[in-house]
Amino acid sequence: MEGFTRRGACGVLAAALLTPATAQVGGGGGGGIGGGGGIGPPRRNVDGQGINYAAEPAVYAVLSIDLDAKTVELRAANGRTGVVQVGPSVYDLSKLKAGDRIKVDFVLPDEKNKELRAASIWPAE
């Protein structure tokens, strides 16, 4: 009986360790720029922990660019607007002008960096 109990306990432990990989199912917040959720299933964040509620990569219209502040103001398809931080290694903002259409992927804001940041930017096709 003792052998069965050990095998059963090991089986339960193995099942418990495998379950979190499928247990994270999403929900999402509002829409708009960086509002997250609403556009398809949620994605894992960069370090693989939890769910990334940042917006899915999407096409946005460029409204304005501030080269000094390294920000770009964007308009989403639903009309909502937002200002996005763009690091120098992400995209050369001097190549953008108002009216351009770009595709943007976002970094999930955290305690240290609360502003909306771009993870990658590329011209829209």
List, for residues 8-38, the tens digit of each pLDDT value: 555 555 554 444 444 333 333 444 555 443 3
Cα torsion 32, 35, 38, 39: sign:
positive
List the CATH number of the domain containing 88.
2.40.50.140
Region 41-62: what's the mean pLDDT? Answer: 62
pTM: 0.58
pLDDT value at position 94? Answer: 94
* Rounded Cα distance, 30 and 78, in Å: 12
pLDDT value at position 25? Answer: 39
Q: Which of the residue ranges 14-23, 55-64, 101-110 would you say has the lowest mean pLDDT?
A: 14-23
> How many CA atoms, within 13 angstroms, populate the side-chain half-sphere of residue 38?
11
Q: Which two tokens stand for residue 104?
A: 């943007």
CB contact at 8 A, 117 and 99: no
How many domains is the chain built from?
1
Return the closest-CA partner of residue 116 out of 64, 77, 70.
70
Region 97-124: what's the mean pLDDT? Answer: 89
Region 47-66: what's the mean pLDDT? Answer: 74
* Rounded Cα distance, 41 and 63, in Å: 28
Of residues 24 and 91, more confidence is placed in 91
Range of the domain at 74: 2-123
